A = this chain, B = another copy of it.
């Protein structure tokens, strides 16, 4: 099945393997007359890039995007936008030793059973390298959203047992994150996280984490009943991320232990305008945005690639022990690099919901139409 596309009205299609010549994304359905340049996209790619902090994978990927179509004299034309990012620092040969075995936690097993063939080099299509394309597309989606002043911000809310809760606006979140190399808005928690990461690197092990995403200025009315609920679209987007194992909106799993009288957001009015007086729901009601801050959490499993020795089998079923070579480059906690990817997917969900809801929400009627 065609399954490398995301979105309906504003739809992206990604392609490319980790160790092929390039990865890329085609964005179809972007409104016309949006100003776009490569630098804006590169800035977002840099946030996701490994090697920035010493705390994530040291691979050098100076991701530079090339805009191949859809932009004329600096503005989108309504035609599909093709973005290409070359794979400069790939080392296919590094994967030769693993070609004949199943790497625990990796896609090789299920892909090989499904397709009867597997590009084992760096995980091929299943590599998180693909998320660079999501970030590039998200940068363009964010440009559209910025016309409505919609602000998206995510942060590292947990790394192993270290947790951190931020309450405030996205603008405040960004300020709090400024000094953090790992998207953590709390300096003291970051110190603990960093310590754990350092230990993990020396252990050759990895750990899970959580990302919380907040969105401000969401128009009321995004999302559609009954199946295309906004929270369902977000859950779909977040579980499509590599390593993602859980999605929670609002109180999430905590809602289990709450009573209706606690969880219900009561309404109050100011000058005749009604709005919820609390936000346990996380900004949605019955699948549709309420205008309150969108608030959801994603749990990511510990990275499967570790240096520790693990038992597995060859493709033919012979038992074998396997460990990554000492100098191997991998992330101790993929949740860190997931932060900008969560933001990008959120932007993609919202821009699609926004364009889908255009006819019903008068304030959404004028995007990119100044002529």
Collect the chain B residues with CB atoms within 8 Å of residue A247's CB.
235, 239, 246-247
Whether, in the assembled complex, A38 has its beta carbon less than 8 Å from a beta carbon of chain B, the answer is no
CA distance in complex: A79, B133 (Å): 15
Task: Give the number of chain A interface residues (Cβ < 8 Å).
Answer: 162
Q: Is the CB of B285 within 8 A of A117?
A: no
Work out how many copies of this chain go into the complex.
Answer: 4
Interface centre among A105, A258, A313, A359 (most CB of B within 10 A): A359
Question: Would you mind naming 7 contact pairs between A and B with Cβ atoms under 8 Å apart?
Answer: A20-B68, A21-B68, A77-B119, A104-B265, A114-B361, A206-B261, A260-B304
Task: Tell which of A53-61, A169-177, A185-193, A224-232 binds the partner.
Answer: A224-232
Collect the chain B residues with CB atoms within 8 Å of residue A20's CB.
68-69
Collect the chain B residues with CB atoms within 8 Å of residue A317's CB.
269, 271-274
Q: Is the CB of B286 within 8 A of A117?
A: no
A360 closest partner in B (C-beta): B114
Q: Given the known A-B contacts A29-B3, A224-B3, are A209 and B256 also in contact in the complex, defined by CB atoms under 8 Å?
A: yes
CB < 8 Å: which of B76, B77, B236, B313 contacts A268? B313
Whether, in the assembled complex, A42 has its beta carbon less than 8 Å from a beta carbon of chain B, the answer is no
Whether, in the assembled complex, A208 has its beta carbon less than 8 Å from a beta carbon of chain B, the answer is yes
Collect the chain B residues with CB atoms within 8 Å of residue A303's CB.
260
| Closest beta carbon of chain B to A321's beta carbon, Å | 10
Q: Is the CB of A255 within 8 A of B286?
A: no
Whether, in the assembled complex, A124 has its beta carbon less than 8 Å from a beta carbon of chain B, the answer is yes
Q: Which of A307-324 contact B (CB under 8 A)?
A: 308, 310-313, 315-319
Whether, in the assembled complex, A46 has its beta carbon less than 8 Å from a beta carbon of chain B, the answer is no
Q: Given the known A-B contacts A33-B116, A301-B258, are A110 and B207 also in contact in the complex, defined by CB atoms under 8 Å?
A: no
Q: Is the CB of B359 within 8 A of A365?
A: yes
| Closest beta carbon of chain B to A104's beta carbon, Å | 4
Whether, in the assembled complex, A4 has its beta carbon less than 8 Å from a beta carbon of chain B, the answer is yes
CB < 8 Å: which of B205, B358, B360 contacts A78? B360
A22 closest partner in B (C-beta): B68
Contacts A116-B360, A160-B256, A264-B310 aside, 4 further interface pairs with beta carbons under 8 A come to: A1-B29, A2-B29, A77-B124, A235-B236
A354 closest partner in B (C-beta): B359
- Proximity bits, A1-41, B CB within 8 Å = 1, else 0: 11111111111011111001111101011011100000000
A123 closest partner in B (C-beta): B286
Q: Is the CB of A369 within 8 A of B116?
A: yes
Q: Is the CB of B301 within 8 A of A221?
A: no
Q: Which of A238-271 contact B (CB under 8 A)?
A: 238-240, 242, 244-253, 255-269, 271
Q: Is the CB of A16 within 8 A of B69?
A: yes
Q: Which of A93-135 contact B (CB under 8 A)?
A: 102, 104-107, 109-111, 113-119, 124-126, 130
Collect the chain B residues with CB atoms within 8 Å of residue A365's CB.
358-359, 362, 365-366
The 4 closest A-B pairs by CB, nearest first: A107-B286, A3-B224, A206-B260, A3-B228
